Amino acid sequence: MDIHTDIPLKNYTTMRLGGNARFMVDVHTPNDVATICKRAKEQNLPMFVLGGGSNTIVHDEGFAGIVIHNRIPGFHVIAETPSDATLKIGAGEVWDEVVRRCVEMNLTGIEALSAIPGSTGAAPVQNIGAYGQEIAETLVEVEVYDTQVGAITTLANEQCQFAYRYSIFRGDQIGRYVILSVTLKLYRNAPQPPFYKAVQDYFDTNNITIYTPQAIRDAVIAIRTDKLPDPKVQPNTGSFFKNAIIEDWQLNQLKVEYPDMPTYDMPDGRFKVPTGWLIEQVGLKGQVLHGMKVHDKNALVLINESATSYADLAAAREEIIGAVRDKFRIQIEQEPLEI
């Protein structure tokens, strides 16, 4: 387990911005994680866990502590019945490869989460979701190293306090846990309609009437390929902004002024408003701000065209947030974490 110094974090994140890490180490086992966390604590070094770097923004000054690059492997069926299978997956596994393997096993539950970049360990952090599925719906438990007590433990689904793009790992317990593995329970039954509108539209357009996990995966990959830029070609973090969540009274007021505003019901009685639609309405879709381009196919996405610093990104972000707030009185929020 080699510790490297002065590592450019822009080479490890898909936005390709930011300064250097003072230290960086690849971890391949839970024991590696325990060892490095104890060493960091002894030396009073801050820590940050990095997976695929697709949901992380780095400041220009870099990170003065140690970045733990999570590479823990593993893909094991630990229980199965004729109707379901439970899998334990290492946090360092590439998420889309996990989805692909599960779909090839004809398991359903995460197929709509295809083509989401990043590692498996990052999936529960922001409770990844797309096209009608969320990781919280299939997650049984998360194995973690608890830096507060210096031990490996497990957190059940309910202990993670999942909500829309939220968990304790990016909430009030941020920095406490290093995710080691994720346990999922998936099912052998065929996916059942109704499907998310974009998926159903794809099925209708392509005359698909036999629904399988592979059919859902193929549809999602095709949709995402069309509307989201490849971070390997155009630096970006996928959806840069969360969709807005508003209260009932706010929706009623806005519908008077903007009757065509799309909304989606949330389980808690609030309403989701597509932030891409809000950004488009303020005239910023396709615009370049401080070297950051608002994607012309999906205004949730910011592409680094010529920005050279976090400061450029921050200026573009604040301009977008301010324009939406001024027009709609809605405060939109950034999705990627920052170090």
Q: What would the pLDDT profile of 60-104 be if each residue is shown by its tens digit?
A: 999 999 999 999 999 999 999 999 999 999 999 999 999 999 999
Same structural domain, 107 and 171: yes
Establish whether 239 is a catalytic residue. Answer: yes
Give the CATH number for residue 30: 3.30.43.10
Structural domain for 24, as ranges = 3-70
Tell me the average pLDDT across 266-281: 94
71 part of the active site: no
pLDDT tens digits for range 169-211: 999 999 999 999 999 999 999 998 999 999 999 999 999 999 9
**Within a domain: 310:** yes
The number of domains in the chain is: 3
pTM: 0.90
* Residue 209 is assigned to a structural domain of this protein: no
pLDDT of 79 reads 97
Say if residue 120's pLDDT is above 90: yes
What is the residue-wise DSSP string for 74-107? -EEEEEE-SSEEEEEEETTSBHHHHHHHHHHTT-
**Is 131 inside any structural domain?**
yes
Name the band, by pLDDT with cuts 50, 70 and 90, for residue 1.
confident
267 — pLDDT class (breaks 50, 70, 90): confident
- Collapsing DSSP to helix, strand or coil, 322 comes out as helix
Q: What CATH number did the domain enclosing 318 receive?
A: 3.90.78.10
Rounded Cα distance, 294 and 278, in Å: 12
pLDDT higher than threshold 90 for residue 136: yes
User: 119, 167, 181, 239: which is the annotated catalytic residue?
Assistant: 239
37 lies in the same domain as 90: no
> Domain boundary residue among 70, 85, 120?
70
Q: What is the pLDDT of residues 23-49, one digit of tens each?
A: 999 999 999 999 999 999 999 999 999
Residue 134 shares a structural domain with residue 180: yes
Q: Per-residue confidence at 156, pLDDT binned at 50, 70, 90?
A: very high
Q: Are residues 150 and 243 both part of a single domain?
A: no
Catalytic residue among 165, 170, 217, 317: 165
User: Is there a single domain that holds both residue 264 and residue 300?
Assistant: yes
Instruction: From 70, 92, 114, give the residue that closes a domain.
Output: 70
pLDDT at site 268: 87
Which one of 152, 172, 187 terminates a domain? 187
Identity of residue 31: N
Work out the end-to-end distance of the chain between its first and last CA atoms, rounded to an integer number of angstroms: 23
The residue from 93, 134, 143, 335 that is catalytic is: 335
pLDDT value at position 2?
A: 86
Quick check: is 339 in a domain? no
Question: Around 125, how many Cα atoms within 13 Å sit in the side-chain half-sphere?
Answer: 28
CATH number for the domain including 104?
3.30.465.10
- Burial state string for 300-313 with b = 16 or more CB within 10 A and e = fewer than 16: bbbbbeebeebebb
